[in-house]
Structure 1
């Protein structure tokens, strides 16, 4: 189902509702910058905030959500365990620390940030424990390739609900997307607008055709591909503009044009070599 409104959600494989669209806060500075960005987003109708231990802004994320006056249960909060903390006991400790920084009793989604060789399966066992304790409403992974997912699925007690990966028109990851669909793992896009590298003729042409910006074209494409998307911005106008994508729909031909831009090009690290 394609999202029709900013508040629309996808039902994860464990029944939890996750908003299709959210605000990512990677590289948003702790304190005023990230707090203000979250206030702008929540005022605009966003109900999904994505952070991580690595981002060093969990405390500010929690503060901004509390100060918003919006019921905690109405906001979907994701955080992630960083690579240095992977392993069973260390992940449990890292999760406790994240909860303390956020000032929350639970998170909506907890992710393994990267598939660190020799560690991610023990990390996943810790996430299963956290899930069974009810302290994360859903658990998932980030930057996992098919082989990593196969490894987890071979003997997990709880299936990942989400795989958050670098995903955009230059990196469509079609085999991974198909695998996730087949196994009911929701794909989620980080860096959806390619770190601003949007000066592509196809995107410029479609922006003119639909009366939108190239970024809005890409974000709409994500949603029509049934990919949850979390563009990062700290600017009020961009936060509002990014979410202004529910009043139009890309045609099947235009969707295919954007898919055709794929070059398997990464702006971030390659999970196979990271």
Structure 2
């Protein structure tokens, strides 16, 4: 099973995403079952945000984790840029109340806003010192943002960066992913299997993806997930409301892609040869 280490915690390399979950009360029980299925199958990380359904996803997660040992979970949430200044503690408290938790393990600055970066991370660090988050990080940061952050007095405390990354969207490989590896900053990959609205080719129908899937007796989605975490220190957080799909997602941690597999996938979806704008959903 592949793992990632964030803030000295060794975590399974596939977690549970929750974007667009909690929005429809008619499927709440199914979504809760999906999250619990993932946890029972070996996932530990649940990624959410105050933005997702204006707190509805956090509320759903709070319901799903009732009865679980908090020490066996790794909860990630995010704060919106316009809430980062003097009101950050109130917003984190609201997230904790929805989650039914005393702390989150990782609190992310959801994307960069207009406030000075030093002021932002000072507030995040204050939340860490108060014990309301074990660590803090960023999301939707590109290499220039990360370089600027790293050079700030407490910038090296950043525990992770969360960006869009999948087989069909490899722009971060040109410079950002290598930078993060050299500086020991894990990457959290959101949308690791793409979605209906994103960025080009249908990965699941690609002939090379299907060939690799057949070799491993796996689904195309599992191969795409296995590819996303084949690099060191990448945590993927796919979202699904289907319990059976959740089981498949978690099982993808056990697929080992060999050089021939990777060559086929790289041929179908080549690595970038020049700097590209950061993909954001």
Whether TM-score is above 0.5 comes out as yes
Q: Give the structure 2 partner of residue 228 of structure 1.
A: 235
What is the DSSP-based 3-state SS (H/G/I as helix, E as strand, rest coil) of the residue aligned with 2:138?
A: strand
Tell me, yes or no, if the aligned pair for 1:112 and 1:120 is still in contact at 8 Å: no
- Of 242, 248, 256, which aligns to 1:241? 248
User: Could you tell me how far 1:59 is from its partner in structure 2?
Assistant: 1.7
Matched, 1:15 2:15: no
Tell me, yes or no, if the aligned pair for 1:177 and 1:187 is still in contact at 8 Å: yes
CA distance 1:121–1:199, shift in 2 (3 Å):
farther
- Of 52, 65, 71, which aligns to 2:69? 71
What is the DSSP-based 3-state SS (H/G/I as helix, E as strand, rest coil) of the residue aligned with 1:245?
A: helix
Aligned-partner Cα distance in 1 for 2:260–2:119: 44
Matched, 1:129 2:126: yes
What is the DSSP-based 3-state SS (H/G/I as helix, E as strand, rest coil) of the residue aligned with 2:137?
A: strand
What is the DSSP-based 3-state SS (H/G/I as helix, E as strand, rest coil) of the residue aligned with 1:244?
A: helix
Aligned-partner Cα distance in 2 for 1:54–1:9: 28
User: Could you tell me how far 1:85 is from its partner in structure 2?
Assistant: 1.4
Aligned-partner Cα distance in 2 for 1:207–1:189: 21
Matched, 1:208 2:204: no
Q: For structure 1, which runs of at least 5 residues remain unmatched after alignment?
A: 265-269
Q: Give the structure 2 partner of residue 83 of structure 1.
A: 81
TM-score (norm 2): 0.84
CA distance 1:248–1:143, shift in 2 (3 Å):
same
Q: Give the structure 2 partner of residue 176 of structure 1.
A: 176
What is the DSSP-based 3-state SS (H/G/I as helix, E as strand, rest coil) of the residue aligned with 2:131?
A: coil
RMSD: 2.2
Greater displacement, 34-43 / 170-179: 34-43
- Tell me the matched-pair count: 259
Matched, 1:98 2:95: yes
Q: Give the structure 2 partner of residue 267 of structure 1.
A: none
Q: Which stretches of structure 1, 4 residues or more, deviate above 6 A after TM superposition?
A: none
Aligned-partner Cα distance in 1 for 2:260–2:278: 31
User: Could you tell me how far 1:151 is from its partner in structure 2?
Assistant: 1.3
Tell me, yes or no, if the aligned pair for 2:77 and 2:104 is still in contact at 8 Å: yes
